[in-house]
Amino acid sequence: MTSIFDAATSVLRASDASEKARAGREVHDSWAAGDIDMNPGTSSLPERPGRPESPVLVPPAHVPKRKVGTPEGRIALLHALTHIELNAIDLAFDMIARFGPGVPDDIRHEFITDWLTVGDDECRHFLMLSDHLQALGSSYGALPAHDGLWEAALKTTDDVMARLAIAPLVLEARGLDVTPQMIDSLRHAGDATSAQILSVIYEDEISHVAIGARWLKELCSRAGFDPRERFQDYVRERFPGGLKSPFNHEAREMAGLERNFYLNLTE
């Protein structure tokens, strides 16, 4: 029987973006069917996840403008979001492969199941957006993108609590803040299809942040740390520049990320 840690690593190593997404969904389904176990894996983690030859990675300032009032601007926005979802796939499966073996035995299965749920959602999001780009006459890889998400992940490879603080509770929580405005802008531009796709992603993101918050609190409790203080320490140490307002307080609180976690971390 395949180890979940080897299976997650194989998703990380996949270089074709659509194949990565499909492989991630297959791993999720195989785990749910009981066809994958928690035995120690034999695969070594790659230094960086597999990536297609395109998009070309450039500094953030060189990424195309995303003005939703034009078809070109909407494609640029959707392309950027598709790239984010590809990174999110790797973040979820890296969470399993890198940190799953070190999670206490009594909660390891639940930890893996939660992050496979997140990973499956991210795979589905990527495929939805990629297909929509195709319908609009573009494709993932047609525009440049930046590597900021994975660069942030590289700063948390040593500590599962640091990864939980930065990936779901900073990076994905930011999606809760900005996505509703993007949805409204797309609707006003007459692009109901794109707005609906983003609405689906937004609702899933609330559950992803909730999973991140729950696991940070659980692991902090077991280690004798105050989760709010630990979160703030990690942000100050590993996310220079602080957090950006405005915040979607309602969605964050639905996800278990209370205001006293983040309000004093703004720029």
DSSP assignment of the chain: -EEHHHHHHHHHH--SHHHHHHHHHHHHHHHHTT-EE-SPP-PPPPSS----S-SPB--GGGSPP--TTSHHHHHHHHHHHHHHHHHHHHHHHHIIIIIGGGS-HHHHHHHHHHHHHHHHHHHHHHHHHHHHHHHTT--TTSS-B--HHHHHHGGGTT-HHHHHHHIIIIIIHHHHHHHHHHHHHHHHTT-HHHHHHHHHHHHHHHHHHHHHHHHHHHHHHHHT--HHHHHHHHHHHHSTT-B-S---HHHHHHTT--HHHHGGGB-
Q: What is the pLDDT of residues 55-81, one digit of tens each?
A: 999 988 878 878 888 999 999 999 999
pLDDT tens across the length of the chain (267 residues): 799 999 999 999 999 999 999 999 999 999 999 999 999 989 999 989 999 999 999 988 878 878 888 999 999 999 999 999 999 999 999 999 999 999 999 999 999 999 999 999 999 999 999 999 999 999 999 999 998 888 888 999 999 999 999 999 999 999 999 999 999 999 999 999 999 999 999 999 999 999 999 999 999 999 999 999 999 999 999 998 889 999 999 999 999 999 999 999 986
Cut 0.85: pTM above it: yes
Residue 235 has a pLDDT of 96
Which pLDDT score is estimated for 267?
Answer: 63
pLDDT at 36: 97
